[in-house]
A and B are shown apart, each in its own frame.
Chain A
Amino acid sequence: MIDEKILKTAKQTIVEQKKDPAVELVQKALSDGIDGMELLTEGFIPGINEVGDQFGRGTLFLPELVQAADVMKAVTDLINASLPSQDGPQEKGKLVIATVKGDVHDIGKCIVVSLMQANGYTVFDLGRDVDTERIVEVAIKEDVQVIGTSALLTTTMVRQKELEEALKSAGIRDKVRTIVGGAPVTARWAAKIGADAFAEDAQDGIAKVRELLGA
């Protein structure tokens, strides 16, 4: 059981985006024999969750989000490196994320990518205006577990349905989970096209990936 004060400090280093103090905290904790995984799950991860929540409320902004993600990556790398070989480094999951063909909106997608990376997922960000075939191709090549697509227009949402069909044609629909998001996209649309989940926003996307992967 880690001292509450250490966990609180760990959380604060993420929320306040303080990389050096975060790294020093991990190094000292590990040298003191503290369980790195517990420090990560009880200290740093609540910190990045707080960052996501504040971002959604408009009290913390993209540059801070990116810096918090950078701090998170630094501490995660350190902790993973300290784990015995059979315990890690643990890969939480691999995702492909893209804004669908015909749609050039990438602000929301960029935020999702930052938060996913901050939460320890490996993300293949294909950018915007991406062909459905390209999404399938990368999903197969990188052996991802989740495909997340964003569509900001009612006229481009149909590409998310096209992806479902393309995954079936490629014979990998049962091997990947799909999440859809974007302003006009709803849970009802996700159910209608056969997607596995709908994400209301970036933070909800994290929750849905956790549910789908159990990690």
Chain B
Amino acid sequence: MDQFFHRMGDGSAVQMTAKQIMADLVEGSEDAADRGKIPPLAKEEYDYLLDIFCSPHKFISVEPGREVILTYDAATLKIRRVGVHVDRIQALQIYEKIMGADTMELAHVDYSYKPVKPIATFEQPILEQALLATHIPLFYGAQPNLGLYSQPDGPFPNPSELMPMGKIKEAQESYEAALEDLVKDIVFVGSLMYESGADGINLDTAGAAGDADFLATLIATEKLKAKYPDICIEIGMAGEFVLGMHSQLTYKGERLAGMYAHQQVKMAEAAGATIFGPVSNTNTSKSAAWNLARAITFMKACGEIANIPIHPNMGMGVGGVTVNDQPPVDVVSRSSAAMTTLCRLDGL
């Protein structure tokens, strides 16, 4: 039986038969369906995925006319992180003029709203210069990062220390107090950057510290939208479901803990977000086929229910892409093409 080049979720190369790949596609999709209480993929979708995984070509793409926009978070950091010594504006120009980015984000190296707050007025002129030096829509963005508000990084007791001691109520109260400060910081920085001309504000890796982190993101979005009705806000998620670190928090009457992408997007819509970036995580012990079918099942359900544009996260460890420092082009192109072909989405 023919063997095809394939990868595991950690990027390692393996050989698999078409039958094995198909079995993993079905299993991955059914895992997502079971977790999210959403439909699995249909036969023709499995067939398409099998085709691209069995293709001998290194690079897979979409038919002309089916391209979607490509937008990037934190890329001003990523260029320098790999040792290319350019300033942030030059990094934005590289993404726009050389790599074909459709939108970009200016970000500070600390990449969280809290540390940006005291230097926001120093960030404003850089944003203004960057806007003059580029043509594509330019966001200012950072992570909500609620973890920075608890000890030793912030004033509130650390819930991660309180919980193991059984101090659940105290931990929950700490989350509730911290999220109020986080909302203020996001609104403060978001307002300044919007008034400096940012085309949008990005709230990246929302929910990284759990449901309180996500709730703060939603409330901050609501407040910014009330203050500036035309503001564009993108909410990009941290993980495929909202971790219930507090567990009882609600927004618009819905419990946030445990929400998957198709439920999260309704919260983002209700808060007034303009774009939503859902996530599906890669399991490094499973094959690329398993991971991609699973990711598409989640993203498809999200796209079908969304009333705002969605831009699924694609990259190291998300969107069916393997966990490599430099994700291989075979898996990135297959994942991106499949996501664009099978899901109702507006960008990646």
- On A, residues with C-beta under 8 Å from B are 57-64, 66-67, 70, 104-107, 110, 113-114, 117, 125, 154, 183-184, 186-189, 198, 200
Contacts and interface: CB of A to CB of B under 8 A. Distances in A.
Contacts of A189: 10
B283 interface: yes
Q: Is the contact region of chain B dominated by helix, strand, or loop, or is it mixed?
A: loop
A151 to B, nearest CB: 13
B166 A66 contact: yes
Nearest to A201: B283
A52 to B, nearest CB: 14
Contact of B168 (A67, A154, A198): A67
Category for how many chain B residues contact A: 35 or more
A58 B37 CA distance: 12
A113 B257 contact: no
A188 B8 CA distance: 10
A62 B248 CA distance: 11
Interface stretch (B20-28, B38-46, B237-245): B237-245
Contact of B164 (A114, A184, A188): A114
A10 to B, nearest CB: 21
16 contacts: A57-B35, A58-B241, A58-B257, A61-B211, A61-B247, A63-B168, A63-B246, A66-B168, A67-B166, A107-B210, A114-B163, A114-B164, A184-B323, A186-B10, A186-B284, A188-B12
Contacts of A113: 164
A103 B180 CA distance: 25
A154 B164 CA distance: 27
Nearest to B247: A61
Contacts of B245: 61-62, 107
A110 B211 CA distance: 16
Given A63-B171, A107-B160, A107-B210, A183 B317 contact: yes
Interface in B249-276: 257-260
Contacts of A104: 147, 153
B55 interface: no
B247 A62 contact: yes
Contact of B242 (A58, A105, A198): A58
Nearest to B31: A57
B12 A61 contact: no
Contacts of A106: 160
B285 interface: yes
A51 to B, nearest CB: 13
Given A61-B244, A61-B245, A107-B210, A187 B284 contact: yes
Contacts of A64: 244, 247
B160 A110 contact: yes
A184 B35 contact: no
Contacts of A184: 316-317, 323, 325
Given A110-B160, A114-B163, A187-B10, A63 B325 contact: no
Contacts of A63: 163, 168, 171-172, 244, 246-248
Contacts of A59: 258
Interface string B128-158: 0000000000000000000100000100000
A139 to B, nearest CB: 20
A58 B153 contact: no
Contacts of B316: 184
B303 to A, nearest CB: 20
A79 B285 CA distance: 36
A104 B148 CA distance: 10
B209 interface: yes
Contacts of B210: 62, 107
B190 interface: no
A117 B9 CA distance: 29
A57 B164 CA distance: 21
Contacts of B168: 63, 66-67
Given A58-B257, A66-B166, A188 B247 contact: no
Contacts of A107: 147, 160, 209-210, 243, 245
Contact of A110 (B163, B172, B242): B163
Contacts of A117: 164
Given A186-B10, A200-B284, A70 B166 contact: yes
Nearest to A55: B244
Contacts of B244: 58, 60-64
B179 to A, nearest CB: 15
Nearest to A128: B160
B319 interface: no
A58 B285 contact: no
B298 to A, nearest CB: 12
Contacts of A114: 163-164
Nearest to A189: B10
Nearest to B12: A188
B11 interface: yes
Nearest to A64: B247
A114 B160 CA distance: 11
Given A107-B245, A188-B12, A200-B285, A58 B164 contact: no
- Nearest 10 CB-CB pairs, A to B? A61-B244, A186-B10, A61-B247, A58-B241, A58-B258, A110-B160, A186-B284, A63-B168, A188-B10, A61-B257
